[in-house]
């Protein structure tokens, strides 16, 4: 007898990397496929992606991947999964535009990416009948899903809030959700990130007036930064700038591309001449220019980062100018980067409007406690599954459910890889599949693990000492003192002859060995120099022995 399985591959404890599996018999669908962002100690790592092992092992069952909205933590890992499995991907029109653009970046075919209309379409994938419905979020064209299964209806509602005046004019379709849930809902898997925030999340509409209020007092150039997929914030900024006679310039590859896609697909509106090129802007007075610039998370190398450091090719910022951060530094590791940029701008006498100031220039796209209560009241599920948050958010979500009459056992807090099985409309925990963090570093996928990260950590903190020894293999002896080369370890003028002294003492230590070979030289060099340098400096540089056999 087949059971319905819900598997949280990732996305329940770390906010990002959203990927969930629904499986029944020989049919399987994946909901969302997002990236994560590296922690500060993940030196050199570009992205973190979900562990696709289970999906790949069961790819014969995979009927489709459905994507809820256009943020990277819900679609950014698609190129990596689609390299391993062949299936169709379904999303709304704007999100399909973002996905196709991403696949083009990876030189991948996008003909298997299909558009659905959440106002009229129902999708069938094997035993699963999926009905999408509109939700409000910080990016337009977001949806939730009612997934009709042989066990009952599962509602999957990732990032959402009840915004009745969204910028795109398409609010949460509460009527459709109530209609779909009228016959009973088996379970609700929904966004928990706002479960610790009281009240309702504010409407996006309120931001536009605040942005305009800031612009009115700026005498120079304005640089506003936001998430590149936040088309609604771009629209609001363009509206405010146009009313005040400022021209808008899009700066940064991600901002330019996403805005271009949204404009072409009818999700971003402005009259001709409002958005201009940097070349045209260079001929205008500063007070007439507003730049929407990429780099709101302080990413090194981004346009905003280069601007802050005075390294941008054609943009400068200084006294009289303003920088507006219309985004929260939410992804792991981003806060320190953004704080660094804020301080650099302030140091340069720039008027900075950022997240720690009580100006409310950013509104969360995630429903707060009252939004969550409203969704619970609409769906009235038998079981509750918090997703998209952390442990504390899951617990707060469960407390909201219990305050509305749910039992503690009705709330299923899942760690990555954990499985819930539904049989006879009864849920039970059914173990977990092994999952791990998969790190993307350049062209390498999954080849950077804890050992490599530990080595990078040592190199960043302690430096490296390369010990070059010339070894006569026939006579089994060293020809001269080892040569020690240091990088990132010590400033030799302060520590005097430490490298020369260490080389001399290492030679003496090796000379006392009854017999030596390359292994003895290598191991002794590491052990001796690690102890020697720690005793002399309190540091433990990485020791890299290089043995030249003659």
453 in any annotated domain: no
State whether the Cα torsion 231-233-237-243 is positive or negative: positive
Q: Which residue's entry shows tokens 């995979």?
A: 62
Predicted local distance difference test score (pLDDT) of residue 136 = 94
* Domain boundary residue, one of 319, 353, 387: 353
**83 and 115: one domain?**
yes
**344 and 405: one domain?**
no
CB 161 within 8 A of CB 369: no
Predicted local distance difference test score (pLDDT) of residue 66 = 98
Predicted local distance difference test score (pLDDT) of residue 199 = 94
253 in any annotated domain: yes
CB 396 within 8 A of CB 371: no
**268 and 179: one domain?**
no
Predicted local distance difference test score (pLDDT) of residue 539 = 76
**335 and 377: one domain?**
no
Which residues lie below 8 Å from residue 406, measured CB to CB, with a gap of 6+?
384, 398
pLDDT tens for each residue of 386-406? 999 999 999 999 999 999 999
Mean local confidence (pLDDT), 177-189: 96
Range with lowest mean pLDDT among 31-35, 369-373, 470-474, 529-533 = 470-474
Here the CATH number for the domain that contains residue 72 is 3.60.15.10
Which residues lie below 8 Å from residue 404, measured CB to CB, with a gap of 6+?
373, 376, 377
458 in any annotated domain: no
* Domain boundary residue, one of 329, 353, 377: 353
Here the CATH number for the domain that contains residue 484 is 3.10.20.580
Please say if the pLDDT value at position 296 is more than 80. yes
Name the band, by pLDDT with cuts 50, 70 and 90, for residue 23.
Answer: very high
Q: How many residues does the chain have?
A: 550
**144 and 270: one domain?**
no
Predicted local distance difference test score (pLDDT) of residue 461 = 66
* Domain boundary residue, one of 376, 410, 445: 445
Please say if the pLDDT value at position 300 is more than 90. no
**397 and 511: one domain?**
no
319 in any annotated domain: yes
pLDDT tens for each residue of 513-535? 777 787 888 888 888 888 888 88
Name the band, by pLDDT with cuts 50, 70 and 90, for residue 495.
Answer: low
**184 and 67: one domain?**
yes
126 in any annotated domain: yes
Instruction: Quote the domain boundaries for residue 543.
Output: 463-549
For the chain, give the longest Cα–Cα distance: 88
CB 294 within 8 A of CB 255: yes
**175 and 49: one domain?**
yes
For the ranges 6-20, 173-187, 326-340, 517-531, the one whose mean pLDDT is highest: 173-187
Mean local confidence (pLDDT), 413-441: 90
Predicted local distance difference test score (pLDDT) of residue 536 = 81
Please say if the pLDDT value at position 329 is more than 70. no
**384 and 407: one domain?**
yes
Three-state secondary structure call for residue 47 = strand
Q: Which residue's entry shows tokens 């003895």?
A: 520
What phi and psi values does residue 116 have, to the nearest 5 degrees?
-120, 155
Mean local confidence (pLDDT), 447-462: 53
Distance CA 401, CA 182 (A): 19
User: Regarding predicted confidence, which is higher, 496 or 544?
Assistant: 544
Range with lowest mean pLDDT among 95-104, 222-231, 414-423, 492-501 = 492-501
Here the CATH number for the domain that contains residue 299 is 3.40.50.10710
E-strand ranges in 303-372 read: 322-325, 351-353
Mean local confidence (pLDDT), 294-315: 90
Predicted local distance difference test score (pLDDT) of residue 333 = 61
Predicted local distance difference test score (pLDDT) of residue 490 = 65
491 in any annotated domain: yes
pLDDT tens for each residue of 354-366? 876 556 677 888 9
Among residues 415, 511, 416, the alpha carbon closest in space to that of 471 is found at: 511
450 in any annotated domain: no
**402 and 418: one domain?**
yes
420 in any annotated domain: yes
Number of domains in the chain: 3
Predicted local distance difference test score (pLDDT) of residue 114 = 97
Distance CA 194, CA 285 (A): 42
Among residues 438, 448, 548, the alpha carbon closest in space to that of 43 is found at: 448
Predicted local distance difference test score (pLDDT) of residue 287 = 95
User: Regarding predicted confidence, which is higher, 67 or 496?
Assistant: 67
**131 and 32: one domain?**
yes
Predicted local distance difference test score (pLDDT) of residue 338 = 87
3-state secondary structure string, 8-32?
Answer: EEECCCCCCCCEEEEEECCEEEEEC
Predicted TM-score (pTM) of the model is 0.81
Please say if the pLDDT value at position 442 is more than 70. no
Three-state secondary structure call for residue 370 = helix
Predicted local distance difference test score (pLDDT) of residue 508 = 83
Please say if the pLDDT value at position 456 is more than 70. no
Predicted local distance difference test score (pLDDT) of residue 48 = 80
**159 and 32: one domain?**
yes
Please say if the pLDDT value at position 383 is more than 80. yes
């Amino acid at each position: 007898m087949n059971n319905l399985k819900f598997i949280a591959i990732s996305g329940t404890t770390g906010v990002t990397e959203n990927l969930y599996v629904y499986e029944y018999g020989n049919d399987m669908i994946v909901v969302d496929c997002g990236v994560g962002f590296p922690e500060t100690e993940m030196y050199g790592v570009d992205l973190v992606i979900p562990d696709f092992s289970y999906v790949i092992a069961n790819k014969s069952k995979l009927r489709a991947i459905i994507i809820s909205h256009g943020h990277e933590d819900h679609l950014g890992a698609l190129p990596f999964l689609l390299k391993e499995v062949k299936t169709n991907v379904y999303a709304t029109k704007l999100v399909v535009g973002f996905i196709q653009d991403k696949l083009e970046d990876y030189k991948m075919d996008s003909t298997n990416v299909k558009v659905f209309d959440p106002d009229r379409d129902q999708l069938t994938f094997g035993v699963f009948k999926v009905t999408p419905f509109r939700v409000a979020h910080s990016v337009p064209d977001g949806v939730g899903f009612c997934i009709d299964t042989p066990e009952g209806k599962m509602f999957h509602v990732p990032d959402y809030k009840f915004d009745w005046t969204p910028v795109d004019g398409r609010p949460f379709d509460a009527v459709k959700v109530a209609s779909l849930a009228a016959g009973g809902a088996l379970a609700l898997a929904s966004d928990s990130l706002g479960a610790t925030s009281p009240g309702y999340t504010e409407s996006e509409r309120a931001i536009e007036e605040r942005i305009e209020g800031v612009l009115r007092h700026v005498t120079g150039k304005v640089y506003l930064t936001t998430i590149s997929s936040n088309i609604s914030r771009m629209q609001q900024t363009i509206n405010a700038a146009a009313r005040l006679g400022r021209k808008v310039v899009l700066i940064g590859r991600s901002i330019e591309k996403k805005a271009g896609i949204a404009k072409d697909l009818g999700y971003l509106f402005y009259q001709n001449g409002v958005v201009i090129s940097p070349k045209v802007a260079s001929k205008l007075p500063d007070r007439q220019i507003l730049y929407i610039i990429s780099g709101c998370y302080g990413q090194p190398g981004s346009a905003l980062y280069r601007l802050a450091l005075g390294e941008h090719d054609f943009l400068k910022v200084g006294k009289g100018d303003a920088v507006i951060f219309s985004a929260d530094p939410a992804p792991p590791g981003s806060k320190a980067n953004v704080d660094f940029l804020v301080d650099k701008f302030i140091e340069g006498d720039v008027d900075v409007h950022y997240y720690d100031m009580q100006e409310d220039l950013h509104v969360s796209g995630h429903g707060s406690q009252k939004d969550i209560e409203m969704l619970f009241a609409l769906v009235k599920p038998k079981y509750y599954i918090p997703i998209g948050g952390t442990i504390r958010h899951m617990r707060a979500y469960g407390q909201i459910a219990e305050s509305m009459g749910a039992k503690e056992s009705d709330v299923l807090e899942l760690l990555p890889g954990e499985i819930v099985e539904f049989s006879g409309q009864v849920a039970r925990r059914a173990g977990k599949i092994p999952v791990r963090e998969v790190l993307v570093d350049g062209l390498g996928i999954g080849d950077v693990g804890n050992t490599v990260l530990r080595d990078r950590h040592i190199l960043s903190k302690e430096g490296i000492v390369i010990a070059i020894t010339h070894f006569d293999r026939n006579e089994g002896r060293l020809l001269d003192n080892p040569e020690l080369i240091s990088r990132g370890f010590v400033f030799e003028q302060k520590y005097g002859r430490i490298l020369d002294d260490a080389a001399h003492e290492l030679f003496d230590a090796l000379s006392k060995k009854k017999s030596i070979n390359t292994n003895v030289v290598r191991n002794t060099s590491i052990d001796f120099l690690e102890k020697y340098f720690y005793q002399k400096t309190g540091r433990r540089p990485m020791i890299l022995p290089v043995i030249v056999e003659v």
